[in-house]
């Protein structure tokens, strides 16, 4: 018991030391708001219709979505099997030596999975999936006479996912040279990069409203403290107002805008949409100079 208490005290001591600079500069109230209140208000949403996948599942896109669904299903099954086998080993008279570390790793994986269960996202699931991947090997090795069939099934899944992805990564790509180096991109990305590389230069101020894709490859600087604008309450009216002030202060020349940001997200509800002021600012201070095949637009300062 003394060892467990010492571990807990060391954890909270290290956490306090890491938070101490922020407490000294911003205050404990603001730190509590961003780490506790903000997360509880905006991120504890549960599983929505999209299941946190990069796109909604469909028969046409099933080969692409299958790699994410596989991890979604694999983790709880592996953890359940691992804990069941550990419990079975523990209840035997001849206790195996390796059930304790396996049980510990299984409980760590379950806790990591429970941590992101309030707002499931494929990236978060991938980040916490490593204990499950390690335990999968242990489960397969303990499959007994079925091990050969399980291994064959797993290799079939791996090959079935790897071949289409490898083919997709090496086809329908365009080579181009950017400030960050030579790269291969998809045609929609090439269309934007080709336009931007001829109309901007490294260190220019440039704002991508929908997603931060092009700052690093083009060596451009984001003048806004936000990485992107959300159609939900994550982007509050105060954030919108501050973003507009920062764009004005930096006299940002180009903004890459996505038309979907013009309208509320039906999944979140119209009352959480706060980008109307930014949309009006964009149309009064900028004019559209280019539309791309994916409907994204470049707006230039008047």
Q: How high is the mean pLDDT in each 10-residue block of the chain (302 residues)?
A: 87 92 91 85 65 70 78 91 83 63 90 86 89 88 77 82 76 87 89 94 94 94 93 89 95 95 79 91 96 94 95
Torsion sign across C-alpha atoms 240, 245, 250, 255 = positive
Q: Are residues 28 and 76 in the same domain?
A: no
Question: Which residue, chain included where needed, has tokens 């046409």?
Answer: 60
Predicted TM-score (pTM) of this structure: 0.71
Q: Are residues 137 and 210 in the same domain?
A: no
Longest dimension (CA), the chain: 80
The structural domain count of the chain equals 3
* 28: containing domain: 17-46
Look at residues 103, 136, 167 and tell me which one is the last residue of a structural domain: 167
Separation CA 71–CA 154 (nearest Å): 13
- pLDDT, residue 14, reads 95
- pLDDT, residue 42, reads 73
- pLDDT, residue 262, reads 92
Q: Are residues 61 and 84 in the same domain?
A: yes
- pLDDT, residue 69, reads 84
- pLDDT, residue 153, reads 83
Other CB atoms closer than 10 Å to residue 247's CB: what's the count? 21
Separation CA 48–CA 118 (nearest Å): 10
Q: Are residues 135 and 76 in the same domain?
A: yes
In a domain, 27, yes or no: yes
In a domain, 133, yes or no: yes
Separation CA 159–CA 202 (nearest Å): 41
Q: Are residues 189 and 268 in the same domain?
A: yes
In a domain, 11, yes or no: no
In a domain, 276, yes or no: yes
In a domain, 35, yes or no: yes
In a domain, 6, yes or no: no
Q: Are residues 145 and 196 in the same domain?
A: no
Separation CA 18–CA 134 (nearest Å): 30
């Amino acid at each position: 018991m003394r060892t467990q208490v010492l571990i807990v005290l060391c954890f909270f001591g290290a956490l306090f030391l890491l938070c101490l600079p922020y407490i000294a500069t911003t205050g404990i109230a603001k730190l509590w708001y961003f780490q506790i209140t903000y997360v509880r208000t905006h991120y504890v949403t549960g599983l929505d219709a999209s299941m946190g996948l990069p796109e909604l599942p469909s028969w046409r896109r099933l080969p692409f979505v299958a790699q994410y669904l596989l991890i979604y299903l694999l983790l709880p099954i592996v953890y359940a099997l691992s804990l069941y086998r550990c419990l079975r080993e523990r209840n035997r008279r001849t206790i195996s030596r390796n059930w304790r570390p396996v049980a510990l790793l299984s409980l760590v994986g379950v806790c990591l999975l429970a941590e992101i269960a309030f707002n499931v996202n494929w990236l978060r699931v991938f980040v916490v999936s490593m204990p499950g991947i390690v335990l999968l090997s242990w489960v397969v090795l303990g499959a007994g006479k079925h091990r050969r069939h399980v291994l064959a099934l797993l290799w079939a899944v791996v090959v079935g996912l790897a071949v289409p992805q490898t083919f997709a990564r090496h086809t329908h790509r365009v080579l181009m040279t950017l400030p960050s180096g030579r790269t291969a991109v998809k045609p929609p990305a090439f269309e934007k990069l080709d336009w931007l590389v001829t109309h901007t230069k490294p260190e220019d101020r440039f704002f991508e409203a929908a997603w931060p894709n092009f700052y690093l490859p083009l060596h451009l600087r984001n003048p806004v403290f936000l990485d992107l604008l959300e159609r939900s309450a994550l982007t509050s009216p105060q954030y919108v107002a501050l973003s507009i002030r920062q764009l004005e202060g930096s006299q940002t020349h180009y903004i890459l805008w996505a038309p979907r940001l013009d309208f509320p997200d039906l999944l979140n509800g119209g009352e959480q949409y706060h980008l109307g002021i930014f949309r009006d600012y964009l149309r009064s201070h900028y004019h559209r100079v280019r539309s791309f095949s994916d409907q994204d637009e470049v707006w230039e300062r008047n």
